[in-house]
Amino acid sequence: MQAVLNAAVPIFALILVGFLCGRLGAFAREATDSINRFAVYLALPALIFTTMARITPAEIGQFGFATGFAGGIAVTFALAFWLARRRGGSMADASIEGLDAGYSNVGFMGIPLCLLVFGPDGLPAAVIATLFTACVLFLTAIVLVELDLRRGAGRLGAMRRVAVSLLRNPLFLAPIAGLGVGLTGLPLPLPLETAAKLLGGAASPCALICIGLFLAQESALAGNARQIGLLVVLKLLFQPAVTALFVFGLFDMPPLWARAAVLLSALPIGSGPFTIAKLYGLQTGVTSGAILISHLVSVLTVSALVAWLG
């Protein structure tokens, strides 16, 4: 539990800082949008780019792990999406809920926990998990949101608008560019790499402070308790159960990789979905509440899993 607390407490602290700033009036309401836009258009793309640029062909070659972990994300996303649509939500809203349910906090918590539980051999698994979470899942949600929001001008017109919007979206371009650099083995110039790391380092703090500001300014949990509870259950219990079924029962891989897949899939919801929810004005209350509650509950669930896997 101490290891999980060490990873989770900084997250709570940054959310609390944002919450207190909002309550004490240190930032105007407009600051939430401004900080979030900085995260979306500058810091988060830089973080995703540098992460993807470290991906190597050898790491992607772990087919069993990649398929099992991605399968857990896909099934969880699909279930959350279907439940939201059945409830009457739009495709865009359902996409955000699917993103919430499948988006593990692999960057902030996954890497240090894998190093602690599995040692250096667990690091490649965390990097591949970051690829599917920050690249594949993120891009899928953005495309679905854009498809829903750009409807109304005919199919061809909608597709053209979606394509133009995506080509202007740094969150769409950054992972593709970073993955291209990683797979080709092209070295990044040191000044560019350093600048990108400095900028990317601001992504998580900005997103977490934005969540705190939003919670202070809005009644995020009011009226959303059922949706938030469902997303937390899907994220912390359903996704790791599905992933365990895949990695232990369907796909062949080294035991360490199988255990790492389950641990990474059991992590709470990362801050990334909130930046998208806030940018598009979709499910912000549900997303911010689910991120907060999932981290609180994960202190128990992930601690129990770490004890078992360790």
pLDDT band at 162, cuts 50/70/90? low
pLDDT value, residue 155: 59
Contact yes or no for 19/306 (Cβ under 8 A): no
Encoded amino acid at 253, one letter: M
Instruction: Determine the distance from the C-alpha atom of residue 114 to the mean position of all C-alpha atoms in its chain, rounded to a whole number.
Output: 17
> Residue 269 — φ and ψ, nearest 5°?
-70, 130
pLDDT value, residue 222: 61
pLDDT value, residue 246: 94
First to last CA, the chain: 12
Q: Who has greater pLDDT, 219 or 129?
A: 129
Angle at 80 between CA 280 and CA 10, to 5 degrees: 65
Q: With 0.85 as the threshold, say if the pTM is over it.
A: no
pLDDT band at 238, cuts 50/70/90? very high
Q: Collect all residues with Cβ–Cβ distance below 8 Å to 250 and sequence separation of at least 6.
A: 68
* pLDDT tens readout for residues 74-122: 999 999 999 999 999 899 999 999 999 999 988 777 777 887 788 777 7
pLDDT value, residue 11: 77
Q: What is the 3-state secondary structure (H, E, C) of 296-307?
A: HHHHHHHHHHHH
Asked whether the predicted pLDDT for residue 135 surpasses 70, the reply is yes
Contact yes or no for 295/11 (Cβ under 8 A): yes
pLDDT band at 203, cuts 50/70/90? confident
**Cβ neighbourhood burial of 155 (10 Å; 0-12, 13-18, 19+):** exposed
Query: In this structure, what token pair is assigned to residue 57?
Result: 């062909």
pLDDT value, residue 84: 94
pLDDT value, residue 159: 65
> Residue 104 — φ and ψ, nearest 5°?
-80, 150
- Residue entry with tokens 């790499």: 193
Query: CA distances (Å), 100 to each of 126, 231, 247, in order?
Result: 19, 7, 22
* pLDDT tens readout for residues 265-304: 999 898 888 888 888 888 888 998 898 888 888 888 888 8
Q: What is the 3-state secondary structure (H, E, C) of 107-160?
A: HHHHHHHHHHHHHHHHHHHHHHHHHHHHHHHHHHHHHHHHHHHCCCCHHHHHHH
Asked whether the predicted pLDDT for residue 73 surpasses 90, the reply is yes
| CATH number of the CATH domain containing 35 | 1.20.1530.20
> How many structural domains compose the chain?
1
pLDDT value, residue 242: 96
pLDDT band at 244, cuts 50/70/90? very high
Residue 12: CB atoms within 10 Å = 16
Beta bridge pairs of residue 104: 269
Q: Please give the share of the chain, as a percent, with pLDDT higher than 70.
A: 89
Asked whether the predicted pLDDT for residue 34 surpasses 60, the reply is yes
Contact yes or no for 172/166 (Cβ under 8 A): yes
pLDDT value, residue 82: 96
Asked whether the predicted pLDDT for residue 134 surpasses 80, the reply is no
pLDDT value, residue 263: 92
Distance CA 202, CA 32 (A): 15
* pLDDT tens readout for residues 145-156: 888 887 765 556
Give the torsion sign (CA, 78, 84, 86, 88).
negative
Instruction: Output DSSP code: residue 185.
Output: T
> Which residues span the domain enclosing 102?
2-309
Asked whether the predicted pLDDT for residue 219 surpasses 90, the reply is no
Contact yes or no for 17/209 (Cβ under 8 A): yes
Q: Who has greater pLDDT, 130 or 74?
A: 74
